[in-house]
Amino acid sequence: MAVKDKNNDLKKVENDKINIVVKNKRRIIPIILLLVLILIGITIITNKKGDIYKITSKSSLQKIIEINELSTVKYSYNAIARKYNGKEEKADNIEYYVKYEGFVNAGIDFNEVDIKVDDKNKKITITLPDVEIHDTSVDIGSLKYIFVTKKKEEDSISQEAYKLCKSDLKNRAEKEDELKNIAKQNAISALKGILDPWLDSLNEEYELEFK
């Protein structure tokens, strides 16, 4: 009987212990959750991504070249270039997209303009050189990226993207058939504009011909 009571007492103590543990667990879990919430809150509030705090740059003049470019048309473009992984240009192969702004200038070499005057026939003939592309310029500050595949810092993507955009712009400009025609027509207008004051001042009327 005493043993039985003792066993009952032991069981009671064990049950009490279990109850205490369960009660403690029930108190501890919310406390732990609260602590986690506080920790997350602190992380969110104090979390701040690193900022660029300084950019400095120095420029030194290396060389100067004399040129004679009369640009008469400007082709401005906002576009998106795509970098493909491999030679096949398909959607599955795109590594990243880059949005850019740029322009292409076309015109003539002003020094190559040839002028001939035929006094007998009262004719001035101006021969223009071929129209050339003078500038394919991309504004590097306008570059924005969307990456499909992860890029490492060491890849120095900006230089690759810049060249990609220049090439893209050049290809788009070459497809504009009217670009060189407009450049030539504008060059003719510009030269005519410079010559008109002479023609007005001449006593005789001269015919102006552009080739």
Partner 1 sequence: MKKVKMVILLILTLSLVTGCTKNKFDTELSLAKIKSICEMATLKTYYHNVAVLEKEAGSGLAHIFEKDREMWVEYTGIAKIGIDMSKLDIDVNGKTIKIILPAAEILSLDIDTDDFSKDSFIYSEDSIINKNEITADDQTQAINNAQENMRKSIEANSQLMTNAQDRAKELITNYINQIGDLAGIEYKIEWSSKN
Residues 30-59 binding partner 1 (CB under 8 A) are 30, 33, 36-37, 39-59
Q: Minimal distance in Å, beta carbon 37 to partner 1?
A: 6
Q: Minimal distance in Å, beta carbon 106 to partner 1?
A: 10
Taking CB under 8 A as the criterion, the residue among 105, 168, 180, 184 binding partner 1 is 105
- From the list 1-9, 14-22, 24-32, 84-92, the region that binds partner 1 by CB under 8 A is 24-32
CB of 109 closer than 8 Å to CB of 134: no
The verdict on 203 binding partner 1 (CB under 8 A) reads: no
User: Around 82, how many Cα atoms within 13 Å sit in the side-chain half-sphere?
Assistant: 12
Q: Which of 100, 69, 87, 74 is nearest to 173 (CA)?
A: 74
Helix (H) / strand (E) element for 34: namely helix 2-46
**CA gap 47, 79 in Å, rounded:** 36
Site for partner 1 in 4-23 (CB under 8 A): none
Taking CB under 8 A as the criterion, the residue among 19, 115, 122, 149 binding partner 1 is 115
- Binding mask 141-170 toward partner 1 (x if CB under 8 A, else -) reads x-xxx-x---x-xxxxxxx-xxx--x----
CB of 108 closer than 8 Å to CB of 132: yes
In Å, how far from its chain's centre is CA 23? 62
